[in-house]
Structure 1
C-alpha cells in the first residue's frame, strides 16, 4: 500500500518519522518499493461513471438519496472506483463508511452492516446523536451492541421477539439509525463485494433502499456478475431494487486501448512500446487487475529495450487472472507460500496471533520476515490499526486455498476451529458462524458431534438476530452433518426439521417449510413420537394460515395428532384445537371449526392461563366467510382483547384487532370500530409488526373512503401499499388496486382506467377473480357488450364459479349491480336470495381493504328489478338508514339515488325529488362527479314528468316518450332497458302508463297512435 509507511510500521503500527528508516520501536526495515505499483495505485478512465457518482453525491447532499450498484467481473475495478467515489465524498464533507463482505461461508450474519455501524459510531462524536437515535433505533442493539452506549440514558431496549414482525422491527431500527446518522452529516455508505453477502444482509439492504430516496445517503454497492444465478440471493435483491425509483446499476467494462496506455504508464516506471501495450490490451480485454499482473509478469523477464521480445513475452502470459497470479506467487519463497496457504484457510482477513499459533514452530522474526516478503510483493496488505492483514485481492486468496491438498485443508480447518474455541471460550456468539464453518470443514478428521452442536448454536444465534437466511444455512448444515456422521440420532433429526421449518416460515419460504414439516411428521410416525408429530402438525398449520393456504392437509394432520392427545399437557391440546379450528375455517368446514374452538375454550378456561385462553378465543376470528358467525366472532374478540389487556400482553393481539375492526364495520358498529382502529395503529406502531401496521393502515384507509375523506384515503392507501410491499407484495398490489378503484368510482374518474381496461377486455380468464370487478367497471363506463360478456362468465351454474372466500360477498354485490344495470330479471331473484344472510350489514372486503356500503342497497336494486315493490322499498329505506347512522356518506348518496330512481319509476315524483335532492347535494359536496351527473339526469326527467307539450300529447313524460319511440322501432322491453339504462321491469311499468294514457290496448295500437301523432317521426333522429 502506498500509504503504509505514512500510516505506521507494518509490524507494531508505530508512526515512522522517515519513510526509509527502520521502525524506532521494533526495528523493522521499511518495505521495499515494488517495481510495479499495486492495482490500487493508478486510476484512469471511468469518466461517465464518475459523473453519475458525482451527481448522485450532489443529490444525497440535497436530501435525495440514491442506491448505485457497480457490477462487473473480478478485477474490473469495482472497489477501485468505489475508492475514488469515496475520495469525492470526503472532499464534499460527507461521512464515508465501508461495509465489506467476506467470501468465507463462516462470516457472521449482517457483517457488512455491523462493520459499517461500528465505524459510524466511532466517527460520530456529535453530542446530538444520542438524542437523534432514541427509542426507534434501540432494537438495532441486537446486531450492533456498541449502540447501547450511544442511546439516550434510560432508553429501554425492546425485546425483539421472533418472526417476520420481529425482523421488521430490527430492520426498521437499523434504517432509523442510518437516517439519523445522515441527519447529522451526509453519508456515503459503501457495501463492497455483495456477491458474498449473507442473504440476511441483502434483505436488510432491500429494506433500507425503500426509504433512502428521502435521506442524505448515497448507498454504493459492488458485486461480481459471474456465477450470479437466478437462485443466488443477490439476484432476488437486485430484482427488488429495480422497482425502486432511486436505484441505478453501473456495469463496468474493460478499459479502452487509450485508457490501457494511461493505466500502464501510471503503473510502470518504464512505459512499454505501443505495440506491447496493444498486445496487453488484447490479451487482458482491458481488465485493470489482469493488466497490472501482466505488467508484473513482463517486468520479471529479461526483455531489455527490445519491443519484439517484450511483445513475445506478453504472448506467453498465462490466460486468465488466476493463472497470472499463480505465476506471481511462484516468485515467493517456499516458507512464505506455506505461511500464506495457512492464512488462506483462515480467510481473506487474518490476524497475526492466530496465524502465529497455526504456523507453529519458528521464531517471531522469521514469521514477520515472511510477511514482509508478501507485503513487499503486494500479495497482502496491512489493515490498520493492526496486527490485522488481508490479501490484496480475493483472487490471490482463492488461488492459494484451491492449491492446498485436501488433507492439508482438513487439518488446518480443524486447528483453526480449536484455536477459535479456545480463544473465545468466554463467549462464542461472535464467532459461532465462523466456528461452524471451520468445524464442518475439518471432518472427517474432526469431532462430528461437536461440529453438529456448533452448527445448531450458530443457527439459534442467527434466529436470535433475525438473520433467517443465515439460520437456514446453519440448520441445513446441521442436518447434513447429522445425516452424514450421526445417522442414528433420529430424534435429533426431527428436532432439526422442526427448527428448519420454523425458520423457513419466518423467512417467507412457506412452500419449502410445508415440505419440511411434512418430513418431520413422517419421521414422527416412524419413531412413534407423538410429541414430535404434534409439533410438526402445528408448524404445518402455522406455516399456511397466514397466506390463506387451503386447510385440508393441516386439518388432517391435527386430527391425527389429537387422536393421541391423552399424553399431551393441556396447553399443547389447546394449541392443537385452536390450530384445528383455523385449519377447518380455511377448508370450509365451519361446523368442525366451531366444535374445535368450543373444546379449546373450555380446556383453556380449566387451565386458568391467559395465553391459552387468548389463543382459543382468537382462533375463530378468520371465519369471515360465514355470515352466521358474526355475532360469535364479535363476542370472542371482545373477550380475547380483555384477556390480553389484563395480562399486559397486547402484542398477542397480532391480527385480532384488525379482524375485529372488519367485523364491527360489517355489523354497522362504526362507533366502536373507529376507536379500535386507533388502538390497533398504536399497538402496531409500538411493536413494529408489519402485518399489523398494514392492517391498521388499511382500516384507516377504509374509514377515510367510507366517510368521504377521499384525499386522506388515497394518501393512506399509498402508505398501506408501501408497507405491504415489504412482507407480502402480491397481496399489496391487489389491495391497493381495489382501494383506488373505490376512490375513482366515487370521484367519477373510472375513465382514467379505460386504456388499461381495453387491454384487459378479452384477456381476463373467464374464471378469474377479477371478472366481477371487470364487469362492474364496464357497466359503469357504458361498455355494455364487455360488461355482459364478463357477467355471463360469472352467471353460469347459479354463480357457483364465484369462490366462497374472503372476496365472495364483494364479488356477489359487484355482480348484483351489473345484474340490475343489464336488467337480468331471471337471475335477480337468485342473487337476492344469496345476499339474504347479510341483510342489515355492510359489505367489507378482505382484510379491511374496502367497504361497499349497505347490503340492503343491492337487495333493494334486485327487488326492484324483479318487480317486488314491497321489498324494494323496505331494503332501500334500510340502506339509507344504515349508511346515515354509520356515517358512510358516499354510500348514503348512492342509496338515496337508488331509492329516488325506484320512486320515480313508481310514479312517486315528490318523494323521489326529496331523496334525489339530498343525494345530489351530498354528491356535489364530496366531489362525486359521476353520481352527480346521474342525479342531474334523473332530476331533469322528474322536472318534465308531468308537463304536457306539443311533442308529448296525452301528458306523456320524457322517459315515456323515449320508451314509446323505441317501442315503435320494434325494440323489446329488454332492448329498451339496455338502451335507456333501466330495468325491464321499469320499462314494463312505463309501457303500462303509455297504454293507459293513450287509451291503447296493445303495443301495436300504441305504435300506430305514435305515428298518427308524429311521436315516432320526431324521435327518428335520436334513435
Structure 2
C-alpha cells in the first residue's frame, strides 16, 4: 500500500517511514472497525503460513485488539507459530484428516450427488488418508482416465477393482492429471514459474504459442479446476487453485528449462512492464536469481531491500538484502560491486539496529567490498568504523586486510 502512487488530491503526509507504516496498519484496523459498526463481519485470512512479516504484524494487531462484532478466521499449517499469545481471546482448532463418512460427503459434492461404487470409495478413503485435496484430485483423475464412467444417476467401475490405479502420493496424482493435458501442461509449468498468480498479458508475452493456442490451454486448465480465472482475456488473471499444484508443475521442470523460463520472464518484465519493475523489484530479483544471473539479481535485491527499509519493513529488508549479498558472493571477485555491498549493509543497519542477523550482513558486505580497490575500501572501512557500523562484531579477514592496508599506507 505504501508504494501506491497518488495524485494531487491526496498529498503525501510528511511522516517518518516507521510512523507512516504504523499509520497504515492502524488505517486498515480502523476500516475494519467502521465496517463492523455497520454490520457484523466475518474476515477470512487463508494460508497465513505464507504471509510476509508485515501482514503477520497486522494480523497480530487485529487479534490482540479485535473489532466488535467481528469473527476473524485464519488458516495456516502446523509449522506456523502465531506471534500472539494463547490468552489473546482466540481459539485454535486443529483440523484432522477426513474420516470415511466425510470422504463420502466430499465425493457427493464433487460428483453432484451421483454415487461411486462402494469399493471405489473405500479405495479412495484408504489411499488418500483423508487429505481433502488428495481426495479431490484422485477422484478427478479416475474420471478423466476413464477408470470410472458416468451412467445415468451413478458412476460405475470400468474393469476389475484390482486394476484400480490410485497414485501413491498427492504429488503423483497432480502430475498424472497434468500429463493428461500435454499442451496445457507446458503452459502450467510456465505459469508456475511466474508465480501462484499471473495475468494474461504477461503469460502472453513470455509464451511462444499464438493467442488461440494460449486461450485453449488456459481454458483446459480452468476446466480441469487447476486454475481459477478472474475476468476475460486480455485483462484476465489466473491463480493456481492450490499452491501444491503450482509446486508440482514447477518441480516437474528440468533445471535448465526452469532457468530459461525465469530468464525470459525477467527480461519481459524489464522490457514491457516498467510499472512492475518500479513497484516490485523483488519480483525481478527472484526471477534473475532463478535464472542463475547473479549480477542482475543482486542489484534488484538491493533496491528491494532499500525500499523495504524506507517503509520500515525491517524483516523484509533483512531477507532481501541477505539474498542480494548471497547473489553477490556468487560473482567472481573482480566483478563484485564493493560499494553496493556496503550500501546494502548500511541499509540493513538502518532497518533494525544491531540485530544478530544484520551483524552477519555487515560482515559479509565488507567481505564482498574487498574486491574493489584498496583506496576505495579504505574510505569505506573508515566510514563504517566511524559510524559504529562494525563495532559490534570483529571484522572479517578481508576487512582486516583492508585496515592493514590503510595503516601501512599501501
Q: Is the 8 A contact 1:265 1:271 kept in 2?
A: yes
CA contact (8 A) 2:138 2:173 kept: yes
Alignment partner for residue 503 of structure 1, among 351, 362, 365? 351
Contact 1:381 1:389 in 2 (8 A): yes
1:422 partnered with 2:266: no
- Compute the displacement of 1:493 (Å): 2.3
Equivalent residue, structure 1, for 2:74: 221
Match of 1:352 among 197, 200, 211: 200
Q: CA deviation at 1:346?
A: 1.0
2:336 is equivalent to residue 491 of structure 1: no
Distance 2:207 2:254 in 1: 17
Shift of 1:449: 3.3
Unaligned runs of 5+ in 2: 150-154, 396-402
How far is the alpha carbon of 1:422 from its aligned partner?
2.0
Q: SS of the counterpart of 1:428?
A: helix
Residue 44 of structure 2: aligned partner: 190
In the alignment, the residues of structure 2 paired with residue 173 and residue 405 of structure 1 have an alpha-carbon distance, to the nearest angstrom, of: 45
The within-5 A match list for 1:200-211 is 200-211=54-65
Map 1:439-454 to 2 at 5 A: 439-444=288-293, 448-454=294-300
Q: Contact 2:313/2:351 (CA < 8 Å) preserved in 1?
A: no
Tell me the equivalent position of 2:109. Answer: 266
The CA deviation at 1:537 is 5.1
Contact 1:241 1:247 in 2 (8 A): no
Tell me the distance in 2 between the aligned counterparts of 1:426 and 1:265. Answer: 46
Are 1:159 and 2:5 an aligned pair?
Answer: no
CA deviation after TM superposition for structure 1 residue 515, in Å: 4.3
Partner of 2:146: 301
The aligned residue for residue 328 of structure 1 is: 177
Give the direction of change, closer, same or farther, for the CA distance of 1:356–1:517 in structure 2 (3 Å limit): closer
Please tell me whether residue 177 in structure 1 is matched to residue 31 in structure 2: yes
Rounded Cα–Cα distance in structure 2 between residues aligned with 1:460 and 1:423: 24
Partner of 1:368: 215
Tell me the secondary structure at the aligned position of residue 14 of structure 2: coil
Judge conservation of contact 1:417–1:439 (CA < 8 Å) in 2.
Answer: yes
Contact 1:518 1:540 in 2 (8 A): no
> For 1:247, what is the secondary structure of its paired residue?
coil
8 Å contact kept, 1:501–1:539: no
* 2:152 paired residue number: none
Residue correspondence of structure 1 range 567-586 to structure 2 within 5 A: none
What 5-or-longer segments of structure 1 have no aligned partner?
A: 1-113, 115-141, 229-233, 545-552, 554-560, 565-1023
Partner of 1:343: 191
Cα offsets for 1:322-370 (capped at 9, x unmatched) = 11111111211x22222222111111211112111211243x2222122
Higher RCO, 1 vs 2 (CA within 8 Å, ≥6 residues apart)? 2
Mapped partners of 2:239, 2:316: distance in 1: 24
- Secondary structure at 2:91's aligned position in 1? strand
CA RMSD of superposed structures (Å): 3.3
SS at 1:382's partner residue? strand
Tell me how far 1:426 sits from its aligned partner.
5.5
Distance 1:313 1:250, change over 3 A: farther
In 1, distance between residues paired with 2:312 and 2:31?
17
CA contact (8 A) 1:344 1:398 kept: yes
Aligned to 2:90: 247
Tell me, in whole angstroms, the C-alpha distance in 1 between the residues paired with 2:185 and 2:365.
48
- Residue in 2 aligned with 1:382? 229
Contact kept, 8 Å, 1:275 with 1:307, in 2: the verdict is no
Instruction: Report the Cα distance in structure 2 between the residues aligned to 1:524 and 1:487, rounded to whole angstroms.
Output: 9
Deviations 1:947-991 (A, max 9, x none): xxxxxxxxxxxxxxxxxxxxxxxxxxxxxxxxxxxxxxxxxxxxx
- Partner Cα separation in structure 2 for residue 307 and residue 416 of structure 1: 44
TM-score (norm 1): 0.34
CA distance in 2, matches of 1:203, 1:376: 37
Query: Deviation at 1:522?
Result: 7.8
Q: Does 1:292 align with 2:136?
A: yes
Map 1:510-549 onto structure 2 (within 5 A). Answer: 510-517=355-362, 527=374, 529-536=378-385, 538-540=387-389
Aligned to 1:312: 162
Partners in 2 of 1:378 and 1:427 — Cα distance? 28
Q: Is the 8 A contact 1:440 1:451 kept in 2?
A: yes
CA contact (8 A) 1:186 1:217 kept: yes
Structure 1 pair 143/266, CA: closer, same or farther in 2 (3 Å)?
Answer: same
Q: Is the 8 A contact 1:521 1:536 kept in 2?
A: no
Q: Distance in 2 between the 1:516 and 1:292 partners?
A: 45
Q: Deviations over 1:486-513 (max 9, x none)?
A: 53333332222222233242xxx72333
Number of aligned residue pairs: 381
Separation in 1, partners of 2:328, 2:64 = 40
CA deviation string 1:902-945 (max 9, x = no partner): xxxxxxxxxxxxxxxxxxxxxxxxxxxxxxxxxxxxxxxxxxxx
Q: 1:280 is matched with which residue: 120, 124, 130?
A: 124
Please say if 1:409 is aligned against 2:258.
yes
Instruction: Verify the 8 A CA contact 1:510 1:543 in the aligned structure 2.
Output: no
Q: Deviations over 1:76-133 (max 9, x none)?
A: xxxxxxxxxxxxxxxxxxxxxxxxxxxxxxxxxxxxxx5xxxxxxxxxxxxxxxxxxx
The 3-state SS of whatever aligns with 2:274 is coil
SS across alignment from 1:223 = coil
Superposed displacement of residue 417, structure 1: 1.0
Counterpart contact for 2:46–2:76, Cα < 8 Å: yes
Out of 429, 433, 436, which is 2:282 matched to? Answer: 433
Q: Is the 8 A contact 1:421 1:428 kept in 2?
A: yes
How far the C-alpha of 1:261 sits from its partner, in A, is 1.7
Shift of 1:297: 2.7
Q: Is the 8 A contact 1:524 1:533 kept in 2?
A: no
CA displacement 1:760-793 (0-9 Å, x = unmatched): xxxxxxxxxxxxxxxxxxxxxxxxxxxxxxxxxx
Are the aligned partners of 2:116 and 2:156 in contact in 1 as well (CA < 8 Å)?
Answer: no
C-alpha displacement of 1:203: 2.1
1:556-635 matches, cutoff 5 A: none
**d(CA) in 1 for partners of 2:267 and 2:368?**
34
* 1:128-147 correspondence to structure 2 within 5 Å: 142=2
Shift, 1:321, TM fit: 0.9
Q: Distance in 1 between matches of 2:160 and 2:87?
A: 50
CA distance, structure 1, for counterparts of residue 199 and residue 370 of structure 2 = 50
Contact 2:305 2:347 in 1 (8 A): no
Shift of 1:402: 0.6
1:91-110 aligned within 5 A: none
TM-score of the two chains, using structure 2 as the length reference: 0.81
Change (3 A) 1:313 1:193: farther
